[in-house]
A and B are shown apart, each in its own frame.
Chain A
Amino acid sequence: MNCERVRQLLPRYADDDLDEDLDDSEVEALSQHLQVCDDCRERLTLDRQLAQALSSLPEPALAPNAPDAWRARLRQEMASGTRGRTWHRATATSANALAAAIGLVLIGCVLGVVVLASGSFLGSGARRATLAATAATTPPAAARTVPADTSTSAPPAFPGTGRPLSITRVQPAMVTTGAPLGASPEKVTFADARHGWVLDGDCTWPGANGCSVLATADGGATWAEQFHTTLAVPEIFVLDDSHGWLLVSNCPGAAGACPTEILRTTDGGWPARPSVGQPGMVAPGGVQALGGLSQTWLQVGSAKEDLSDLQFLNPLDGWALGRACPPSRDDCTMKVMQSTDGGATWNDATSKQFTPVALRLVDPFNGWAVGCSDPGYVVGGDCRDPAIWGTRDSGRTWLGQLNLPPQYAFAAFVAAIDRMHAWVLLSDTAACDENAGDCRGITWGLLYHTSDGGWTWESVRAGTEAGTPADAWIHLRDARSLQPTVLTGAPAGLRFASPDLGWIPVRAGSGNLRGGLLLTKDGGTSWFFVAGEPGWSVDDVAVGGSVSGAVTWAVGTRRVTSGQVPFLVKSTDLGQRWQQVLPVVTPITTVDFLNPVRGWGIGSEAGAGRIFSTTDGGQTWTMLVGLQNAAALSFVDPLHGWVAGDDGSPGGGTVWSPGAQDLSFDPWTAAALGARNVLETDDGGHGWRTVYRGWGQIVWLRFFDRVHGLLVTLSAPDHPGPGLLATSDGGATWSWKAGISGVAPVLAVDFPNPRDGWVAVRTDAGTVELRTTDNGGLSWTTVGDVDLWTFAVSHGGAVAAVGLSFDTPRDGWLGFANVLLRTTDGGRTWSEFDLPDNLPRSIDVASVRAVSERAAWLTTTDRRLLETDDGGATWRDLPTG
């Protein structure tokens, strides 16, 4: 017995718990090894010491007010729409209603809160404050929508099955805690080039955000929310642009098998066919709920098993795997589940010959499964006798087609495109925890292929790497370097679009391991990493459109400074270039324009400051990936610019380049730093280089040429309050010029040139003053007595932000709340500028940027970007996607 083997067994040896793994002679061999091997003996001691040390880790202190906050949240939860209350009200009505209501309670507990069909849209802040109603066969127009106070009425009969309609109030807390739509895509599927669906939010597991079904009918340009629930929606399957199914499971956090509800749509989930530009839809890239949620995702049936691998071959014939766990949860079994009525009822179609692990049908009759024939096989356990099975008669009989080598804790995927071509991918999951999605990678994979309907299966062997099983499919080449590479993530699926073209999404797992998307163009013989940037992890892939013009869609996560950003990306060139579709990114806080067409902005994506560029005056924006957490920016020509931001590199890693930045630092440390560094670009913002490490909280920065610039920082050593710093060497060194406002907070700053500047500061009295300098900040004088606060309040607004821009020492703009002021005499007099009638009165100016007398942009706190090219006479609303 060698050291490696011994070391794997030591914890069991320390616990005297080796019986299951070893026979007596092996235990003896282990003991003998320990007597002669100092290293292993030391490890045995260490195992015991570590166990001891783990059991005596200090108890972290609990914040005194935390339990109160939890209690308050629980009380809120208990008070809001509990099902018990519904029952009690119902008991008061009649015996019939009682019976129906008991059914309601039971179904409520199984189904929980399934939000469907709401007739009214309660405004953007309350988009999820909808009532739930599920019905089986009711057409959309007649789908029951229930006003807010009718949860007390006796539930009407459940059409078709006689079961009561489930009506449940959405938990009020869910209304406000939802993440922005499109911020967290988890699954993607496309019926054709235009019609696609995304599961967005906490879909795999139930969570505070709930799960939304987003849909597009225009190839991803616009998305709308069709359906929302606080339950988990682990899978969606669409057959075509009309027929789709959702699996909804109700397991609030508990492990084990969940009962599954099946929801179906027969019109694509759209209450009416949408078209781009229709009211309720948004401009390209945006996400917005329709006026009301879909009324057409309707509950059609349920299964007591935990369904997965859902597929429908036509509107009636469906298949799935069903996991059933007895209460002890120790021996979950997997079943083949079959529906012949569109998902309303599910029958156990499991063969006596094997327990299914993976399943794929290509038509109602033909399909394949990977199964384990061991008696007593437990899902996720060891299998001595796995095999590929095939059926040609709708699963009534299965024929073993290929015996596979014994497996320990393995995952399997089956892909098929017709009754002749199928693929099977097996991989070990020894280092994976499927429940947690936690995987350090696989050590080997096996890929098999048939092109004759399963008469012969052959192992696809593109090559082998040292240390892998002889049959291992693991020889991969990097798409760019063409160097051999090793699959260190774990496959999350297997999908083929033609006999040649196929994909394997790969999860990176934890640690700096490689995930991405594998692509083959030769039926699986050779695989290339596409979408394999460091830090990518791909969970799901979908193909829209014909094979020749395929659009590849992928959902996954991308590692950034602050953690991970889930994404939906698409590619029209088989993964050479990807375009981010979700989450929608928005230039909102700051813009800088060189001229009326060329500009840059700082927007946000999942809360991180991102840099965007535009070459058409803000009509379209491109996200530049090289930087995160940007706070201020300034460009002097199309190539040269500076950003105040966080390069996230407390100890090193000063060079930034697209795609490679995300691995080089520890986000836990970086998150708290704020904008303290100045970074420089000489290629228009694609690559950034740290030129200066400051002290923190740089709020404004402007360069006047390639060497001269100013910045304002809120915290500098030895100087209380905000200060102005200057550079004359392109940002490499900065010298303190002057304090700006004593200790008063600075709200906005601008300098049209190094001498003349303006600041808006908040005074002790709570008003806002405008101050100006004509000597580079050495002395400041208050300009008039502009009391912005009073001014704003008198106009019916509240000041959340102040925008200030001077393009010359005489011409400037000042914006706050719903007020826009303009001066042409250096701030001595201001004229109030009417915002055009087509803007909402509640507009709240966040920043203003003028580049000439005529051209200016302003951003608002509600994420609008407005442009004028006639000195403010007319303003245009620009798309911010």
Chain B
Amino acid sequence: MAGVATTDGVPSKRPMDADAAFSAIFERHHALIYHYLRTLVADDAVAEDLTRDSFVRAWRSFECEEPRNPKTWLYAIATTAALSAMRRRRLLRWLPVRAEHDARGMPSTADLEPLVGERAVLVRALNRLPAAEAACLLLRFQHGLSDAELAEALGVPVPTAKRRLCRARVAIREAYIRLREDAFG
């Protein structure tokens, strides 16, 4: 199967060792993508499924067009997969987001799990953000994407990506402050 039929002058659409090329991409990046998705959705099984689905989608896309930057491209696919799954499926982290809900006597997760320090507060603050904002923060800070890469991974123009990142940082800061006050007085 090796080699593309270019003898009659038809240019190669893509090399036929795509399987191997994609396998290499998979080996290099799967742990990273899982890491990203796991932090984003906060569930082992869901993150595993999403990682698998992301690479399947990536492969189907790869068949047609090889990405310029495989890492960013995978982040884009994983982000879309996670956000669409979280939007539509049973993954939404429906945590009460405002104090008013607590005031109505509804139990919040604060009743369920004791806080174990600043990092736990941070993780909970992260979980309270809209998923798209959490994704923004993780891609920038946990995975070190540049503005341009972030924009590509989110599928938006660079200025929009920067605005979204800024909004996400404001949101997590304020969520963090609120949670810290709740937790530590």
Contacts and interface: CB of A to CB of B under 8 A. Distances in A.
A-B interaction: yes
Interface of A: 7-12, 17, 20, 43, 46-47, 50-51, 53-55, 57, 59-60, 62-63, 66-67, 69-71, 73-74, 77-78, 82-84, 88, 91, 95, 98, 102, 105-106, 109-110, 112, 184, 186, 202, 204-208, 251-256, 329-332, 378, 380-381, 409, 433, 435-440, 509-513, 557, 559, 562-564, 566, 649-653, 663-669
A43 B173 contact: yes
B95 to A, nearest CB: 7
B108 to A, nearest CB: 8
Given A54-B141, A55-B142, A205-B80, A563 B59 contact: no
Given A252-B60, A253-B58, 7 more contacts: A57-B39, A60-B35, A436-B87, A436-B132, A437-B87, A511-B97, A663-B101
Nearest to B43: A668
Contacts of B31: 62, 67
A435 B154 contact: yes
Contact of A669 (B48, B109, B122): B109
Interface in B146-175: 151-160, 162, 164-166, 169-170, 172-174
A665 B101 CA distance: 11
5 contacts: A11-B166, A60-B44, A70-B51, A435-B83, A559-B94
Interface string B47-72: 11001111111111101110000000
A70 B169 contact: no
Interface of B: 1, 5, 8, 10, 13-14, 16, 18-19, 22-23, 26, 30-31, 34-35, 38-39, 43-44, 47-48, 51-61, 63-65, 73, 76-77, 80-81, 83-98, 101, 105-109, 111-112, 118-119, 122-123, 126, 130-133, 135, 137-138, 141-142, 144, 151-160, 162, 164-166, 169-170, 172-174, 176-177
Given A102-B10, A440-B130, A11 B112 contact: no
A383 to B, nearest CB: 13
A433 B97 CA distance: 18
Nearest to A256: B155
Q: Which 9 A-B pairs have the closest CB atoms?
A: A255-B155, A563-B90, A109-B64, A253-B57, A436-B83, A11-B169, A253-B77, A54-B141, A433-B132
A438 B79 CA distance: 13
B36 to A, nearest CB: 10
B8 to A, nearest CB: 7
A251 B60 CA distance: 9
Contacts of B77: 252-254
Nearest to B176: A50
Given A66-B48, A664-B107, A380 B8 contact: no
Nearest to B177: A46
A650 B112 contact: yes
Given A88-B5, A381-B160, A666-B109, A70 B55 contact: yes
Contacts of B107: 649-653, 664-666
Given A20-B159, A435-B83, A652-B105, A557 B57 contact: no
A438 B122 contact: no
A444 B7 CA distance: 62
A55 B119 CA distance: 12
Nearest to A8: B170
B89 to A, nearest CB: 7
B67 to A, nearest CB: 8
A510 B91 contact: no
A70 B26 contact: yes
Contacts of B111: 651-652
Contact of B159 (A95, A381, A562, A665): A381
Given A74-B26, A380-B157, A435-B132, A53 B118 contact: yes
Nearest to A206: B57
A439 B130 CA distance: 8
Contacts of B132: 433, 435-436, 438
A332 B157 CA distance: 8
Nearest to B135: A436
A564 B152 contact: no
A652 B112 CA distance: 11
Contacts of A668: 43, 93
Contacts of A664: 106-107
Given A381-B159, A666-B112, A510 B130 contact: yes
Residue of B18, B56, B96, B111 with highest tally of chain A CB at under 10 A = B56
B59 A66 contact: no
Nearest to B96: A512
Nearest to A12: B166
B26 A71 contact: yes
B23 to A, nearest CB: 8
